[in-house]
Amino acid sequence: MQPNPDWGSGLPQSAAADGGTLSCVSPDARRKESLQRLPLPYATALRMRDAGIADDVIAECVGVDVDTLPTFMRVAEAKLAAASHQSPSQ
């Protein structure tokens, strides 16, 4: 019988039940890493929205019309989701 892992430590565990290695990466760290893979305007817009910046300011900073910002943000979120499913080496 294996000892109980310390799930609260935040450190990677040595082995999973299926023999693979577990990775304990926080969602914030994973999001930050994925944002770094995005084209700058999308990453900037997402970071600004996360910071609570108003939509008109975001639109101005990334160079889109405020009326098109919702579509731009949906594209940014889709790109972020795709980036989060890629391994760092891809």
pLDDT value of residue 25: 58
Mean pLDDT by 10 residues, the chain (90 residues): 49 47 63 90 95 97 97 96 72
Q: What is the C-alpha end-to-end distance of the chain, expressed in Å?
A: 37
pTM equals 0.65
pLDDT value of residue 86: 72
pLDDT value of residue 32: 86
Are 48 and 57 in contact, with CB atoms under 8 Å apart? Answer: yes
- Structure-block tokens of residue 15: 């082995």
pLDDT value of residue 53: 96
Q: What is the largest CA-CA distance in the chain?
A: 61
List, in order, residues 6 or more apart from 3 with CB less than 8 Å away: none
The 3-state secondary structure of 13-55 reads CCCCCCCCCCCCCCHHHHHHHHHCCCCHHHHHHHHHHHCCCCH
